[in-house]
Structure 1
């Protein structure tokens, strides 16, 4: 496989063609479906993409193509073969399966700060029912701590100041929970 076949647009072009043909859809029918979603593509635009004469696809176009073809966008963006090389960035190639997991937000690419990667997930995706309760608690605490660390760095606080503040907050929490007579406040 040469470098151009690993490039995202080449993969999108191939996957659009494969998916369209599997659905027994003509290039004109695909163009009509895109037009019905306010994307002004004609049969020639579809053909140019599929034959490699069109070298770009916007995010909106990718999403519309996936919608008309009834597939998730990832299935057009990244090859289905998990072990095939895929160009994730201009200078990084990884196995397609790893890139698919990265695009889904499941695993970071090598060299990524995992805490930042995980902290950017929406709150609705924070819990994993397959994780033991303690691990879920640790994940939630990590997300909150990372946000606090970011705020502390932004405010110019040192690591020692942050650790000291956490210790004092922990002691205050113990006091509030236990109260003066051990029954809480």
Structure 2
């Protein structure tokens, strides 16, 4: 999936990326879509026919390139089992993705960091811009004790970084108001009042 000369690297949906990784995985085994479908049928997954696999890999695109055929969680798990892989192996950036290629998680969240995406899929690291405390709290419930200690350390660091960012933003906002007040000729008392914590300031 090349973007062409001079064009920005593509942004893939999760299904786009999984389809490319499925194609890569079966190619490594030397399997055609027909052989992959036969392996699926032998495993009892008769719905993954050669035609269905072709539709999964191509996405059955509309004229504007929109993918009409998404990949279900059940299909992801079945294909991973048939290909003798972990489901996680079928997630993340394709091996042959162009540098800068992103995977779109939501309309507002897209990432080109393959290591970050794999860590998130494995439950090891939250995505930037999401609630790290919620992520680690949930992850800790499924982690062995030794991994849990690292998760606690990561959570502590994440909370401290978030707190530092909040304090920095608050200080920058206050200094901007002070500079504006000085330019407007505010009195010392009025300037001092700007340093008093307000309802929105971190405690």
**Category of TM-score, reference length = shorter chain:** 0.5 to 0.7
Partner of 2:165: none
Q: Is the 8 A contact 1:83 1:97 kept in 2?
A: no
Name the SS for the 2:129 alignment partner. Answer: coil
Partner of 2:126: 108
Partner of 2:73: 59
The superposition leaves residues 46-93 of structure 1 with CA deviations (integer Å, 9 ceiling, x where unpaired) of 112222316211101001011111111122121155964221222211
- 1:74 lines up with 2:88 in the alignment: yes
- 1:48 lines up with 2:55 in the alignment: yes
Name the SS for the 1:120 alignment partner. Answer: helix
Name structure 1 gaps, 5 residues minimum: 140-185
- 1:26 lines up with 2:44 in the alignment: no
| TM-score, L = length of structure 2 | 0.57
Q: Is the 8 A contact 2:9 2:101 kept in 1?
A: no
1:92-131 pair list within 5 angstroms = 92-94=109-111, 95-121=113-139, 123-128=141-146
Structure with bigger helix share is 1
- 1:86 lines up with 2:120 in the alignment: no
TM-fit CA distance, 1:113: 2.1
Greater relative contact order structure (CA < 8 Å, 6+ sep): 2
Residues 80 and 3 from structure 1, CA distance in 2 versus in 1: closer, same or farther, beyond 3 angstroms?
closer
Partner of 1:161: none
CA distance in 2, matches of 1:104, 1:129: 12
| TM-score, L = length of structure 1 | 0.62
Name the SS for the 1:93 alignment partner. Answer: strand
Range 102-111 or range 86-95, more displaced: 86-95
CA distance in 2, matches of 1:8, 1:113: 21
TM-fit CA distance, 1:130: 9.6
TM-fit CA distance, 1:14: 1.1
